[in-house]
Amino acid sequence: MSTIALIGADGSGKTTIANRLLEEQPIKLKYLYMGLNIESSNHSLITSKFIYYYKVRKYKKKLGIKGGLKKQNLSLHDLNDERLPDSRGKLGATFRTFNRIAEQGYRQIIAWIYQLRGRVILFDRHFLFDGAIDEVQTQKSNERLSDRFYHFMLTKVFPKPDITIFLYAPAETLFSRKGEATLEYLDAKNQSMMNIGTLVDNFVKIDATQPLEKVYRDVKNTIVNFHNHKPKNQLVAEL
């Protein structure tokens, strides 16, 4: 069975499209969140949850937030922004790296189990395109050894999706939809996803500025056609 990664910057419509695919089931799909946000994950290691809640507790203390987050109209994601600089020392960075690798391996094993049961896996986001991928493209001279090792594992060792569907919208459109991040960050995110798309087979770019019904139809048709034909050669398409 195949693996399908649905990717795109915040505001591109990934969650809406994924939910509708799961509701209609054009083929037999199993949903698996593969992003870095543990709060959104449907499968994650206990160590990842511990690290996540520790960070949230630290941010709450720093910002002087007391009590439950719902009373403050906040979510855990609001307090745990992956765009913030990493202030960990070498030991902390190394632990984070190996925990992320273990997290990726854990979710990959889950994907294999469902595939053996005859399911096509729908990845919501993917480690390869999420988070640390910006450093893969820029090759920063001051990048930590642990980060370089993590990037090597992502690009050379871990399995890549059988098909990747990139929901693309310009930074201005993404910002107008969610009002998060900055135009510069969103533009860089789009560019990094397109860059890393050259490293995978069957990368499809879909215009997410179209009406939602058209975007959904393009995604569904791409998935069904790939599932029925499974091309062996690299497919780079724009819809």
Average pLDDT over residues 100-109: 92
Average pLDDT over residues 21-34: 94
Average pLDDT over residues 147-168: 89
Sign of CA dihedral 106, 225, 166, 11: negative
- Inform me whether the pLDDT recorded for 132 exceeds 70: no
Domain positions in the chain: 3-36+113-238
DSSP 87-140: ---HHHHHHHHHHHHHHHHHHHHHHHHHHHTTPEEEEES-GGGSTTHHHHHH--
Sign of CA dihedral 53, 56, 62, 63: negative
Residue 196 gets the label, from left (phi > 0), alpha (psi -120 to 50) or beta, of: alpha
The pLDDT score that the predictor gives to residue 135 is 45
| Helix residue spans in the chain (DSSP H) | 14-24, 46-63, 76-79, 90-116, 133-138, 145-152, 171-178, 183-196, 212-229
Look up residue 73 and give its DSSP letter.
T
The pLDDT score that the predictor gives to residue 234 is 53
The pLDDT score that the predictor gives to residue 141 is 47
pTM for the whole structure:
0.81
CA distance 15 to 3: 17
Mean pLDDT of the chain: 82
Distances (CA, A) of 210 to 20, 93, 152, 207: 16, 41, 36, 6
Residues 6+ apart with CB under 8 A from 212: 13, 16
Element of type H or E holding 157: none
- Inform me whether the pLDDT recorded for 84 exceeds 50: no
| Per-residue pLDDT reduced to its tens digit, 40-61 | 888 889 988 888 777 777 777 7
* Architecture of the domain spanning 3-36+113-238: 3-Layer(aba) Sandwich (3.40)
Find out whether 208 and 168 touch, Cβ atoms under 8 Å: yes
